[in-house]
Structure 1
Amino acid sequence: MADEQVQGFRIGDVEVLRVIEWQGAHVPVGTLVPDCAPEVWSEHEEQLVPDHREAGGDRAVVTLQTWVVRSGGRTVVVDTGVGNGRERPGAPLFHQRKGRFLERLAKAGVRPQDVDVVVNTHVHGDHVGWNTHAVDGAWVPTFPRARYLLPAADDAYFGPRGGYAGGVREVDRLVYEDSVAPVHRSGQAVLWEGGHRIDENLLLEPAPGHTPGSSVLRVESRGERAVFVGDLLHSPVQILHPECNSCFCLDPQQAAASRMRVLERAADQRELVVPAHFSGAGAVEVRKARHGFTLHRWAA
């Protein structure tokens, strides 16, 4: 799929659009999901190549993307990508980007002023970047009318109250200051915990482990269901082997437990699973297997 394209599907009365910021081969698969042994990747090669692992190579194919959900007359943006012009030392893909995300959003028929709600499934730099943009040298909210729904646990951990994640990585302070703090200053931030209903079709629920406040967005309309899982999954190999964590999971045991719980419900209730970084079709139905789950059917 050319990365300029916008794709879409429906969940009952809810319209879903996919807007891509970047996609391609990134880090080695063993770096991205170190819990999975090399033989696991080899065993499932036919299911992973070329959309999720490069052909003839060892790098994971990933996508940086935003999902736009139209429900009940509202326009909801789920995760906002990397953003432009950011100081992201140590992350060449994210550092001082000059991408065309807002142009692609416009191709999907979405202007910043049209957005009613922004959902950040968690506070990592590739999920909050377009929360803001630079105007006259200052970071201001990109979506001027929107409520920004932020998990309270992540806001506390990555913000000044938590010492910017304990000061372990300088990038956590940079991300919070350019992509989250301006939303607080504008009065548009809404912190939630325990669960948050957006409307009759959309419900946010905690799924901690990847970060303290990692969350999923459940969609249900006219008997059809989907679940936007953020970084609960980075690769389909984690569906086949849900015990495997990514290198970014802060609490691996809790992350694996959340992953198993969300996938079990998705299989039981026939929810379409929509991760933040899957390439290819971007979303998949899962079914239970003897060990873990199977990739039943990719979204059209």
Structure 2
Amino acid sequence: AGEMGIVGTLEAYRRRGLVRAQVAAFMRRLRERGCLLSHIQGIPYYYRQFGYEYALPLEGGLRLETRHVPTPPDAPFAFRLATRNDLPVLRQLYDEAAQDLSIHAVRDEAIWRYLLTHTDGTQMEQETWLIQDADGRTVGYMCLPKHHFGEELVVSEVSRLGFDAALAALDHLKTLVVERDRPGMRLNLPANCTLMRLARSLDAHDLGTYAWQIHVPDVTALLRALTPVLERRIARSPFAGLTRDVRLSLYRETLVLRFREGKLTEVANVGFAGGEAIRLPPLQFIPLVLGYRT
């Protein structure tokens, strides 16, 4: 995936088509690199003119006040900030948590090392807290970004946690909120993780979410990459063993998915064609294929 960076333009040079030229150059680079997706936070609605659509949750989350966080039982958990020596366990915990998500960022050791040692003073600066049990074994972690929207203490990433560890984590966050004089905590996390489910049970306020704006440079390439997923879905459905050409119209172009005995053998773009049974506005195809509402 490729993310469009921030570009500043002198006021005297605005409204001359520079943004369109920059986006065109960016789109060429996406194709050259074989990127299947492009994502941007960006100006609300603005990037739809360049083929972007809201398709993945972003920001928002749950706001929890400290008065709603109970004192945990005497569960022996300790918390400390991570160092580069903790890279192996962080990678393991992250990879395990990523299994619960349909879409996630891939992090190798170099990326983890950068996040832990080279982000001070940057937009990516964060605290990574380890959660350890009575034997000193690391059972989880959570990340608190320095830069974010709002005044609350924000948690932007968390590993899988058992109930007792999650309750202890909320209690630790409560302590940090008080120490740092914040108005509460905000959990900007996957909706079904343990920490979010626990916060909901404690009367956390749902702030809703914004969304990443997503562009698909080459729809056929994305569908080819999703072949294993599509075949699994077919195998687990009433259409198991499907042998058929499935034609999908995006109005200006038509995609043909050729299934033979449940296997996707080809994805082809046959250009404009009329009268297809399945028709989707092209931008609405993006949230559909990424499972945004399901």
Give TM-score scaled by structure 2 length: 0.27
Higher helix fraction (1 or 2):
2
Is the radius of gyration larger for structure 1 or structure 2?
2
- Structure number with the bigger relative contact order (C-alpha 8 A, sep ≥ 6) is 2
